[in-house]
Amino acid sequence: MDKKKNPLKRPRVDQAPVLSQSVPRPLSNGPGAMHARPLVALLDGRDCSVEMPILKDVATVAFCDAQSTQEIHEKVLNEAVGALMWHTITLTKEDLEKFKTLKIIVRIGSGIDNVDYKAAGELGIAVCNVPGYGVEEVADSTMCHILNLYRRTFWLANMVREGKKFQGPEQVREAAHGCARIRGDTLGIVGLGRVGTAVALRAKAFGFTVIFYDPYKPDGEDKSLGLTRMYTLQELLFQSDCVSLHCTLNEHNHHLINDYTIKQMRPGAFLVNTARGGLVDETALGAALKEGRIRAAALDVHENEPFNAMSGSSSTGPLKDAPNLICTPHAAWYSDASCSELREMAATEIRRAIVGRIPDSLRNCVNKEYFPQSGGPGGPPPTYEPPTGLNGMSPATPPAVASAGPPSGVAPNLLLIQAAVAQAQQAAGSTTPNNCM
């Protein structure tokens, strides 16, 4: 008996369109057919499987997979309302000015040093980050690095892998030279934020005496955590057997660890950086490792990424041939759980922008103070009317916001789009699927 031929498979509607190809717009019936749905683009990645379920009922989601700003698709530059981005590319003021309709950028991560957020604010573009994700993972990874430096597990494991045999205590002593006892040593934490605090609590359990330097923390926080506060960086460096960096990167602390500050550290101290690569002058660090002024260092972040441990940014990189150095590929934040959590939080922030008000409805807008109050390159901060939900209002928006109309003088670019989408959905009697563009 002949089997029936399978009908042609319909394309999946929940798969993000690739902008490097010619992809048709979604079709809609009714008065809204002339207007596209808001376009949200993942600039430097391909996988949108986590973001799709959160955004597909309010926006069209696509990806560019750009490795540089020159590879951002023209359609995104002309039509994207929202952008999601990792840390692969950097958006300067000149790059931001190329976007015609962009209203929000969400960094999938906590750092914002690869976005000119001041210029974005002046252009009326909100920049958001996700500061609360992966705290446990980064703190755990930091402790792994600290333990590796103290117990030299990384180097001992490599010796065994390379076939070295340890036949007596003399050979063990020679191979493990530099191993140190943790209990009683002083760990100095620079930046007592979420991760810095988590590291401090873990380090105390291992027997460290924990001190910290953070000029932005109010008095008394050291008492509540059982830590000792240092009021200058120099004092912390002088008293620490191991220094761990947990501060954001800005114009004031670039190359915080340099030749001058390394000389203020205890001879033979350890250094760990899981925060931002620009905090450490890698040329000064390489010299200090070769001279033995720093006993060992562990870096998860680097000035130039992706980082090649063998050569740095070139064949004569500053960390080339530096001894007692552990490098990992900016992965301290990662676990399957933290990655999903991070992407969900980033997509949810984009959703707040589409169905709510910018910047009022955003949870982690970092450049609100740079928004023009009136006029200016980006115009006033836009206010958007949420699309109609099943019960007459957006389920993610409070009734007061859902019923509020836009104030006078607000550019109606997304208002027209959202009104058209809602009108088309009402006429069709169902929600428009998130087809490819």
Q: Which amino acid is at 216?
A: Y
Element (H or E) spanning 188, and its range? strand 186-190
Kindly state the DSSP code that residue 38 receives in the 8-state scheme.
Answer: P
Element (H or E) spanning 225, and its range? helix 221-225
Classify 413 as helix, strand or coil: helix
Strands (E), 10-59: 39-42
* Angstrom distance (rounded) from CA 83 to CA 61: 10
* Angstrom distance (rounded) from CA 317 to CA 91: 25
Tokens 């605090």 locate to 197
Catalytic residue among 276, 293, 295, 351: 276
Would you say the C-alpha torsion 307, 310, 312, 314 has a positive or negative sign? Answer: negative
Catalytic residue among 94, 97, 174, 305: 305
Instruction: Please indicate whether residue 305 is annotated as part of the active site.
Output: yes
- Burial label, 165 (beta-carbon count in 10 A; 0-12, 13-18, 19+): exposed
Q: Which amino acid is at 18?
A: V
By DSSP bridging, strand 39-42 and strand 80-85 are: parallel
Phi, psi of 283 (to 5 degrees): -65, -45
- Burial label, 288 (beta-carbon count in 10 A; 0-12, 13-18, 19+): buried
- Strand-pairing partners, residue 299, are 273, 327
* Angstrom distance (rounded) from CA 34 to CA 230: 62
Which residues have CB under 8 Å from 223's CB, separation 6+?
none
**Cβ atoms < 10 Å from Cβ of 347:** 26
Catalytic residue among 145, 202, 246, 330: 330
| Residues marked as catalytic | 276, 305, 330
